[in-house]
Amino acid sequence: MAIEQPAYFGTLLLLEDLGLKALQIPTDPAEGLLLASLDEAIQRHRPAAVLASPTVQNPLGASMPVTRKQELVALIERAGIPLIEDDVYGDLAGEGQRPPACKAFDQSGSVIYCSSLSKTLAPGWRIGWVAAGRYHTQVLQARMAGDWAGAPLLEAAASNILASGDYDRHLRRLKFRISEGVQAVIARVKASFPQGTRVTVPTAGFLLWIELPHPLNSLVVHRRALALGIGVSPGLLFSPGAEFQNFLRLNCANEPSSTLLNAVEKIGALCHELAGQRK
């Protein structure tokens, strides 16, 4: 399975559970999945499918430009393999109308589109959907073989919200609040972390991918922060190998309260301490 590098750790765990090998494709913070690298990997390794988040990738927050999404769809169609498009963060993109998904350019049914309301409306609802194109029968069979039970009351509530227009108004407020929070955390990281720290500014969404200066190890930072009651995700989680040891991911989904910003400062102080630089 060809996936992005870095990749969401939940994806890596899922592939491991299924006994599938992860073929990681370099992903650029500005351009998303590097298509030349993907094309080469497909020709050399013939993966069964490509699994990617072309809009607001986790953890980079990268979004592919529309032309590159079109090129990605054309590439997988030529290769004769499906693209599993994970678009759970897609509704958080765009200041006005959200950018189109790869599925919008799918003429052959090669894109298996997956999305959800868990990142935008109600995380606890766990409601999602799949538009599987020509793989509809296989996806339906897999669904029936697994957990067939649904949540009809929650699904009806979600349907009413989507139909009423309230969801669009909610999204506008949510994206504004998230943007404010992300900018506040970025400013606090720049003020609190050691010199040489680099922050990948996401195109949208609430995740920050941070590169710490060498020789800092984000797993050590994670463990020390956890002892203070602060959760950060070390970079090692986002690759099946030993990459990204000096990277970490911060979640900025919550409002930028003094508690949150103080926690960011404490992480920065930890990094200074571990790097031997006292602030």
For the chain, list the domains and their CATH numbers. Answer: 1-162 (3.40.640.10), 166-274 (3.90.1150.10)
Query: Residues 189-198: pLDDT tens digits?
Result: 999 999 999 9
- Rounded to 5 degrees, what are φ and ψ at 146? -100, -130
Least confident of 32-41, 117-126, 245-254: 117-126
The pTM assigned to this predicted structure is 0.94
Does residue 278 have a pLDDT over 60? no
Looking at residue 277, its pLDDT comes to: 60
At which residue do the structure tokens 């799949």 appear? 130
- Alpha-helix runs per DSSP H in the chain: 9-17, 35-45, 66-79, 136-145, 152-164, 166-192, 218-227, 258-275
Query: Residues 144-164: pLDDT tens digits?
Result: 887 767 788 899 999 999 999
Query: Residues 83-92: pLDDT tens digits?
Result: 999 999 999 9
Q: What average pLDDT does the segment 17-44 reach?
A: 96
